[in-house]
A and B are shown apart, each in its own frame.
Chain A
Amino acid sequence: MIDPQSDTVRPPLGLAMRSLLRADAIVLLRNRVSATLSILLPIVIVVATSLGARTARLGGAELTIGLALTIGLITSCVLGYSLNLAHDREVGVLQRLRVTPAPTWMIMTSRLCVQVVTNLIASIVVVIVGVIVHGLTPTVGQYALVLAVAVLGAAVFLAIGQALVGLVPSTSAVNAIGRVLFIILVLLGIIGSTGILGDTVKSISGWSPVGALMTLFSDVLGGAAWNNQDIYSLLACAGYIIGFAFIGIRWFRWETR
């Protein structure tokens, strides 16, 4: 048998990665509905909540912006990313890529990188609009922290999206379950946190992905001192990333057969 190392036919990984990143970026940008929704929906929330004088009832401007950012991330990752991945799997795009010498981890990493960068850009736009309409004056450090939390949030919801595609083989089922999941996550995060459903639900809400991220966004935007709740929220997010990413990788299938 020939030693493959003796014959340098394996293509350079750098060129392959650049090609994938460029293609995935074009695909994401051409999905205008998905891209617009993940920016437009949070902007509508921050603008709408700035029109009345009762933002405090929603927990203040910082919490409202945090909510808007979180909803943008869920829309983009749980609905957009998972659905695109499931669709590409069903129509054979992933199979076509897999018969090339690009490693499978690279095919997936490229998609995730493009998704995270898009989420970061969307988050910057939403924060800028949010601080303008709500009259906040965050420092450069606070902006940087918001972006860090946005990356964390993207990782949480991408992991959830990956787990969804890993566990559910059909595209239409991913679509339906993704929508239900979206509603559950948002309602648990928002309504649960008000306490109207009782202390138990409120406590669960605080530990939920949406609740944990809203806490972090709100505290970094409000310039609050680092507290135990932030540490718990950070740990919860790390737990979600590890847990759901494990499920998403372990049970992911490249084809629907």
Chain B
Amino acid sequence: MSDASQLPPPVLAVDNLRVAYGARVAVGGVSFRIDRGEIFGLLGPNGAGKTSTLSAIEGLVKPKSGRSLIDGIDTVQHPLEAKARLGVQLQSSSFQAELSIEQIAKLYAGLYGVHLSREQIDASMRTIGLDAELGKRFKQLSGGQQQRMALYIATIHEPLLLLLDEPTAGLDPQSRRALWQRIEQARGAGRSILLTTHSMEEAQAVCDRVAIIDHGALLTTGTPAELIEKHKDDPRVLEVAHGPVTLEDVFIGLTGSEIRD
């Protein structure tokens, strides 16, 4: 018989998380967990509460109630210890405009307690195809290069959990595919990943499980195939489907067809 107390904690456990900005509730009691080596996608229209959920896990906003544990560590009670286990790629990656790529790498390595030699930086940059851009500033890179650099910085300390907020937004198909590969590689290296996205194609291509969130509440959770199976007979889904039900049909059926700003 297995003893549950001997099992490692989930990499991320979010329990009844509630985030509000003044009177406006952005996240109203969300719960989910991510296991080791799992890629979990948070899908939702604009303003659904995806980024607010991530912000609470990252420690950027203090939840009104509930909690999130990274590797068993409470992100509110022990924020620095939790952040040390976390790699983050924000929606808009902003590094100091005056710093070169190499200087940014050194800064963030230092913040995570990683000593990086020039040779190690060179090798890393070769791996992500930025070795020729080492002296350039972040803003001088193309969109795809910026995303690769941001993902490199997010993984510079080999974190347990990666939080990626719309990592492929604005990328061309080639760059998007290349980034999916890197996300897969990160999982291959034993990391767990929580990503938010608007792209159903992306969710199906890279996520083991997805959750659909809207108006601050999780509507459904499961593998992409499970969600299609579970909701294929839902009248709201059938109404928007044009042929066999897809994940996008499920998404639009559950969250509505109106355009969100």
Are the C-beta atoms of A95 and B81 separated by less than 8 Å? no
Q: Which residues of the other chain, B, contact A26 by a CB distance below 8 angstroms?
A: 98-99, 103
Indicate if A230 sits at the interface (CB-CB under 8 A): no
- A100 with B83, Cβ < 8 A, contacts A4-B78, A19-B110 known: yes
Indicate if B86 sits at the interface (CB-CB under 8 A): yes
Residues of A in contact (CB 8 Å), total 35
- A2 with B9, Cβ < 8 A, contacts A19-B107, A26-B98 known: yes
Q: Which residues of the other chain, B, contact A10 by a CB distance below 8 angstroms?
A: 80-81, 84, 113
Indicate if B176 sits at the interface (CB-CB under 8 A): no
**Which residue from chain A places its CB closest to the CB of B86 in the assembled complex?**
A99
Indicate if A96 sits at the interface (CB-CB under 8 A): yes
**Which residue from chain A places its CB closest to the CB of B100 in the assembled complex?**
A26
Give the contacts of B81-112 with A (CB-CB under 8 A).
81-86, 88, 90, 92-99, 103, 106-112
Are the C-beta atoms of B96 and A16 separated by less than 8 Å? no
- A101 with B107, Cβ < 8 A, contacts A2-B72, A23-B99, A255-B60 known: no
Q: Which residues of the other chain, A, contact B82 by a CB distance below 8 angstroms?
A: 4
Are the C-beta atoms of B111 and A95 separated by less than 8 Å? no
Give the contacts of B1-35 with A (CB-CB under 8 A).
9, 21
10 contacting pairs across A/B (C-beta < 8 A): A1-B72, A10-B113, A15-B115, A19-B109, A20-B107, A22-B107, A92-B93, A95-B90, A99-B59, A100-B83
Indicate if A197 sits at the interface (CB-CB under 8 A): no
Interchain CB contact (< 8 A) of A2 among B73, B84, B112: B73
Q: Which residues of the other chain, B, contact A92 by a CB distance below 8 angstroms?
A: 90, 92-94
Indicate if B131 sits at the interface (CB-CB under 8 A): no
Q: Which residues of the other chain, B, contact A99 by a CB distance below 8 angstroms?
A: 58-60, 83, 86, 88, 90
**Which residue from chain B places its CB closest to the CB of A96 in the assembled complex?**
B94
Q: Which residues of the other chain, A, contact B86 by a CB distance below 8 angstroms?
A: 99
A130 to chain B, nearest CB (A): 30
16 more contacts with CB within 8 A, not counting A1-B69, A4-B82, are A1-B73, A9-B81, A11-B157, A15-B110, A16-B113, A19-B106, A20-B111, A22-B103, A23-B107, A27-B96, A92-B93, A95-B94, A96-B93, A97-B111, A101-B113, A255-B60
Question: What CA separation (Å) do A100 and B93 show in the bound complex?
Answer: 13
**Which residue from chain A places its CB closest to the CB of B21 in the assembled complex?**
A257
Residues of B in contact (CB 8 Å), total 40
Indicate if B74 sits at the interface (CB-CB under 8 A): yes
Question: What CA separation (Å) do A88 and B92 show in the bound complex?
Answer: 13
Are the C-beta atoms of A27 and B98 separated by less than 8 Å? yes
Are the C-beta atoms of B111 and A101 separated by less than 8 Å? yes
Q: Which 7 A-B pairs have the closest CB atoms?
A: A19-B110, A11-B113, A2-B72, A92-B94, A4-B81, A30-B98, A100-B111
- A31 with B84, Cβ < 8 A, contacts A18-B110, A101-B112, A255-B60 known: no
**Which residue from chain B places its CB closest to the CB of A30 in the assembled complex?**
B98
Are the C-beta atoms of A23 and B96 separated by less than 8 Å? yes
Are the C-beta atoms of B99 and A100 separated by less than 8 Å? no
Q: Which residues of the other chain, A, contact B107 by a CB distance below 8 angstroms?
A: 19-20, 22-23
- A100 with B71, Cβ < 8 A, contacts A4-B78, A10-B80 known: no
Indicate if A12 sits at the interface (CB-CB under 8 A): yes
